[in-house]
Amino acid sequence: MRRPGHWSWVAAGWLLPAGAAQAHLVSSGLGPFYDGALHLLLSPGALLGLLALALLAGLRGPRAGRLAVIALPTAWLLGGLVGLGLAPVPDLTWLGVAAFLVLGLLLAADAKLPPIAIAALACAYGGLHGLLDGMALTAIGAGTSPLLGIVLAVLVIALLGAAAVVPLRVLWARIAVRVAGSWVAAVGLLMLGWLARGTG
Amino acid sequence: MSFSQSFRPRHRISAPILTIALWPLAAWAHVSAGEAGGLLSGLSHPVSGLDHVVAMIAVGLWGAQLGMPALWILPVAFPMMMAFGGLLGLLGTPLPGVEVGIAASAVVLGALVLGRVRLPLAAAVALVGVFAVFHGHAHGTELQAGQNAILYSLGFVIATGLLHGVGIAVGLIQRWSLGRQALRGAGALVMAAGVYFLWGAVA
Amino acid sequence: MTLAVRRLAALLLLLAGLWSGPGVAHESQPGLLEVRQLTTERWEIAWRAPIYYGQPHPARLALPPDWQPLGEPRVRRLASAELYRQILRVPPGSVDGSVIGFPGLEQTITDVFVRLHRLDGSEMSQVVRPTEPQVVLRGERPWTVSAREYLALGFHHILLGIDHLLFVLGLLVIVRGPRMLIETITAFTLAHSLTLGLATLGHASLPAPPLNAAIALSILFLGPEMVRVWRGETSFTIRHPWVVAFCFGLLHGFGFASGLSTVAMPRAEIPLALAMFNVGVELGQLAFVALILLAHRALRTLEFRWPRCAELGPAYAVGTLGAYWTLQRTAMLF
């Protein structure tokens, strides 16, 4: 990230631990709740893994989908509440990238994980991003309202994403979902490269 | 008839997927033209170099000729192999003869399409994977200052995937015998273009 | 029936309850800045800063440095706003391209209408949003720019109107079948468009405090009807929800009108502003309905199961919030 300014907050995606330059969330003009929801939508780093996880859960059927839809926002919220009370830690961007890289690979491979494993992944991913979000929100002096906006957006995306995949039976449609996973993994690989270069 | 019954899910790609896919894209475009530039330049980069375009489409054409399961394994494997090449490039790992490799990929893929060559699946994936690494190494790393790396990467990957899609869609004409011949003709064109690029790369 | 909608509604209401501070029950009033030319060099600005959650509004006015104040500003505090008036000397020809900023606006949800009147009769009207809290004064703007502004204004207004959305949610729980859904939403749309238009054009008006209480009452009204649906009973509302949607829609339209101030708006611009604002409101409402329907379908696809009594949650939540707002807003009348 080379350019300061309000977009830089978004630029690093949700992965960004609060640097000193980030003074506020991108304003939706609609108050902190919508600011939070908008923030998630503007954070490709968080969205890619979220989407990969939702689609992966959907491929594994309704039960896995249900568990993911429950676990993701819950873990995100709990992680966020914990994170709100913590001091920001140094750069964890690579951890977020590694997370969505792994999820993308699992989706591309159509990994036959049991629902409980999906739930565990959802808890880990949601908890990780919740923590990062909470710490970032504290660092910019925002309260819990944006966190609630984020969590509701996570819930909606996970719900719609998983439910869109569950009914897919046709081979090509399921393959399209796996291709999406390979795209996510590819972005993850490239991002690791950018991070190694110090550009991420 | 109850409300819920009337909204029973259908077994097809449904609106939510589209909603989810388009929503953030629209939001990114909306909020900042500057950084959305990362996405746009990522999207436009793969289609700006003819050598890249030709090879990507050829992968799709060949996949269509090979049929299942190569038809889907290639598009799933290719982006990751290409990103791996990009990763090598970003890490500064030298890859000798990148330009030659890219031009050669068009020649080889064109020849495979022209000859309707059927390789064993593992060999086909390995071959395409090697080319993918070359393409990624050369093209995945050109980010302008100030642009967002993740959006650029996303745009790059999406555009490449769509080029495969074009190849596969065009490849569907092989259902008809005339189409099969046309497809081989397309392979010849790709090969000719590859020879031209190779000439440029070597000379 | 609409179990999933009700479950979803429960969840949304829970979140809505968490998210709504005490202030959400009030409409957020827009601000207004009038810039009026008195003589060649003398201009008057009138800045109406709405009371923001019981406090003076955090946004300030940042005028161009070469505008010299003449005398002290006059300040008047009203129940709903603070009014500042100030005469200024402005170098001739320097108005075009001048930038007026609103520092502090970016932390709020307040939109500001800016109106510029010149001696030659030319007028300018613009909407300033918290996302970009400044205005560049210009003579003419293409009508498409204004149209987009008013569209966004309407869209944002409905997104912030949690009481309107709650009413729509209640209707969604009650209706059965797509036909009834379309009838009901259309009736609501027609009714509130009608009164929004009448109020904006100045043909009818309702004072805000009793109006808000009545809107709260319309939400309270839906709570018991939702319980009847749960019990499998029927009623006039459940058989003909469009009638209720139409009648209460008339009230909600007056509520929407509070988001569109036409004070000092150039006359020629009022129809455009009204139409686009209305379209924005409808788009926001349709987006909300679409989101609920999608989420409802998704819950069914994923085969969520809940205890039967949990389905009553939304009815109680709608009823409780409606009752709370009704009491609160009625108390504010006295």
Structure confidence by residue, pLDDT tens digits, B119-145: 888 888 888 888 888 888 877 666 666
Query: Mind listing the pLDDT tens digit for each residue in C129-149?
Result: 888 888 888 767 778 888 888
**Could B11 and A178 be called an inter-chain contact, meaning their C-beta atoms sit closer than 8 Å?**
no
Q: Residue B27 is nearest to which of A11, A41, A166, comparing CB atoms?
A: A41
Give C190 or C139, the one with higher predicted confidence: C190
List of chain C residues whose C-beta atoms are within 8 Å of the C-beta of residue B1 = 176-177
Between the CA of residue C101 and those of A34, C129, C205, what are the distances in Å? 24, 11, 32
User: Shortest CA distance to A83 belongs to which of A157, A136, A124, A15?
Assistant: A136
Taking the mean position of all CA atoms in its chain, how far away is CA A194? 19
C297 and B6 within 8 Å at the Cβ level: the answer is no
Asked if A38 and A103 touch (Cβ cutoff 8 Å), the reply is: no
CB contact under 8 A, A194 and B90: yes
Give the CA diameter of chain A.
49
CB contact under 8 A, C109 and A166: no
pLDDT tens for each residue of C48-101: 888 887 788 888 888 888 888 888 888 888 888 888 898 989 888 788 888 888
Of B3, B8, B16, the CB nearest to C176: B3
Is the pLDDT at A106 greater than 90, yes or no? Answer: yes
Paired with C62 in beta bridges are C101
pLDDT 10s digits, B76-124:
888 888 888 888 888 877 777 777 777 788 888 888 877 777 788 888 8
Distance from CA of B4 to the nearest CA of C (A): 6
pLDDT exceeds cutoff 90 at C187:
yes
Q: Which residues of C touch A62 (CB under 8 A)?
A: 301-303
* pLDDT above 90: percentage of residues in chain A: 38
Which range scores top for mean pLDDT: A6-10, B125-129, C221-225, C301-305? C221-225
Q: Is the bond preceding residue B69 a cis peptide, omega within 30 degrees? A: yes
In this complex, do B27 and A2 lie within 8 Å of one another by their Cβ atoms?
no
Q: Which chains touch A (3 or more CB pairs under 8 A)?
A: B, C
ipTM attached to this prediction:
0.79
Residues of B in contact with C293 (CB under 8 A): 7
- Give A-chain residues touching C160 at CB under 8 angstroms: 30-31
Chain C closest-CA separation from residue A87 CA (Å)? 24
User: What residues of C are in contact with residue B19 (Cβ under 8 Å)?
Assistant: 294
B140-183: pLDDT as tens digits: 666 666 667 788 888 888 888 888 888 888 777 777 777 777 77
Closest partner residue to B4 (CB to CB) among C180, C294, C300 is C300
pTM: 0.80
Q: Which of C109, C295, C302 sits opposite A65 (nearest CB)?
A: C302
Mean pLDDT of A131-146: 85
- Among residues A140, A145, A175, A170, which one has the least CA distance to residue A17? A140
Contact B2, C176 (CB under 8 A): yes
Q: Is residue C286 less than 8 Å (CB to CB) from chain B?
A: no
Q: For residue A141, what pLDDT is reported?
A: 78
Exposure on the CB side of residue B152, measured as CA atoms within 13 A: 27
Q: CA C60 to CA C50: how far, in whole Å?
A: 12
